[in-house]
Amino acid sequence: MRAGLPFLKGFAGFRAAWIRSDIPAGLAIATVAVPSAIAYPAIAGLPAEVGIYSSLFPLIGYALFGPSRQLIVGPDAATMTVLAAVLTTMSATGGPERVVGASLLALAVGIMCLLAGRLRFGVVAAFLSKPILLGFISGVSISILVGQIGRFTGLKIEAEGLLTPIIELVAKAGAIHWPSVALGGALLALLLLLGRWKSPIPGPLVVVTVAVLASWAFGFEAMGIKVVGPIPEGFPVPSFPFDANLSIRETLLGAAAVWLVSFGSGIVAARSFGARGKFDVDPDAELAGLGAANIASSLFSGFPVTVSDSRTAVNLSVGGRSQLAGIVAALSLAAMLLYLNDALRILPVPALGAILVAAALSLIDLRGFAELWRISRMEFAFALIAMWGALSLGVLNGVIVAVAATLAYVLLKEMRPRDALLGRIPGRRGFYKLHRAPAARPLPGVAVCMIQGSLLFFNVDYVRERLRTIATELPAGTRWFILDASAIAQVDSTAATMLDEAREDLAERGIRLGIAELHKEPTEILQRSGVLGKIGGSMIFEDLEDIVPALERSGGP
């Protein structure tokens, strides 16, 4: 599939029989979307109606231009937390200015998605590894938990970070509104119990319904419990988001951070659902769909969105077959905005806090950490670093820490490529690693060494020392040192210089350097650097098997 705008791909192969499953799936998606649509904007300090706009219009954008028939887009807790940090750096204090800032970021993220899709940058999705995302999203989740203190207690918590809000809570303990605490705690307990009982009705929907009915029956607002308040009726007028007071530089940098996290976590979710639903996920094509969804959100006063795990899970469980389910969900949300406005107005704020706490707890994957600990202590450490970055340095700086941790992880893996000496097993073709095949024996007079990794500027010193160490341990009478380059995908100019130095070192010991199974790109680099010319054509082998007849022709054993 080509990167670009895959128009109506989400309806590919549509059959009339699918309507019977797509309509119920769309209604179920809308049902699940309502609680998060109202709750998630609170993370970024945005009004509730913005969450409804951001849940409605992106569904239409993705349905028209998204490549997948079953993925569903919408607000995401991790993306919202990064968005909150970015809006703070942009000095978007509140009110209309903050909404415009969020919409402008959605527009920038959408354009970045389209450009990245055209340039086939979907590979960036693999850049944030699973351990890094696990740690980062866990850190974001803990930040969300801390951010709900004010909604549960009725206090205005001004401190940011991990510990300072808790310290401020202790200092203001005398002003805690205990009815709000009781309501929030009860609703959270109900959510957790429904999740444990695997309720067929989504827990957040039950909590919203119960909270609205209780608020109507007992007059929570008169009791001092904060409520959502008036929500504008109808739909926003399509407009291009612009605010001359917002810095273009900060907007672009912030949008890049939001894009990286939203696309990274979104594509991980998409691939997980693809494996479960047995459908392919093309990151480059998904960029086009997410670009259309974010642009649609921005034009209707919405914020950045990505692949929604909860809504996609509901779609798959109910049996949605095409993006008609997304269209039905969008129409259902529109009807809710028009006809359920009064009910949403009296929704108590502690209910939003309970939904967000439950969502944050679901994102903290303790089993994932335990699995990492069992599989790789190094990856476990990087997951903790990413989590620490999001908690200690703030979510926005945490993105930088997560990326830096990924780079460090990749470099550590590549800085010390493994090597192995090869030999032959009598009576069998091929070469075998001496340390793994006890029956293998080295060729008389020849050392064959395999380097398992690219030779680049950051690992050539290590490889040089390994080659010197191996050379000093070779038995007397060794005439040739053959480098098996079958696993060397890349070579740069620094590595070319190192290989020439290795050739000279071996020559001083009376040993000739040869290279076998060299790939095309490394061959071109070594030719232009003159290294292959110094080695000589007679010591360049297309295949390791060519070494034996060449050795015989040279008069060797």
The predicted pLDDT at position 151 comes to 85
The predicted pLDDT at position 298 comes to 96
Q: Burial of 249 by CB count in 10 Å (0-12 exposed, 13-18 middle, 19+ buried)?
A: exposed
The predicted pLDDT at position 496 comes to 95
**Torsion of Cα atoms, 106 then 115 then 78 then 53, to 10°:** 30
The predicted pLDDT at position 94 comes to 62
Domain boundaries, given as residue ranges, for the chain: 18-226+242-365, 418-553
CA angle at 492 for the pair 490 and 498, rounded to the nearest 5°:
110
The predicted pLDDT at position 295 comes to 96
Q: Report the topology of domain 418-553.
A: Transcription Regulator spoIIAA (3.30.750)
Token pair for 468: 């010197």
Crossing angle of helices 349-363/178-196, nearest 10°?
40
The predicted pLDDT at position 1 comes to 41
Token pair for 509: 């010991």
DSSP states of 210-249: HHHHHHHHHTGGGGT--B------S-PPP-----TTS-HH
Q: What is the pLDDT of residues 487-501, one digit of tens each?
A: 999 999 999 999 999
Question: What percent of the residues of the chain are helix, what percent strand, and what percent coil, each to the nearest 5?
Answer: 65, 5, 30
Which residues of the chain register pLDDT less than 50? 1-4
* Beta partners for residue 515, in sequence order: 483, 540
- Which residues, in sequence order, are CB contacts of 69 under 8 Å at separation 6+? 9, 10, 11, 12, 279, 321, 322, 323
| Cβ contact 311:72 at 8 Å | yes
Per-residue b or e along 76-110, where b marks 16 or more CB atoms closer than 10 Å to that residue's CB: bbbbbbbbbbbbbebebeeeebbbbbbbbbbbbbb
The residue written with tokens 């827990």 in the block is: 203
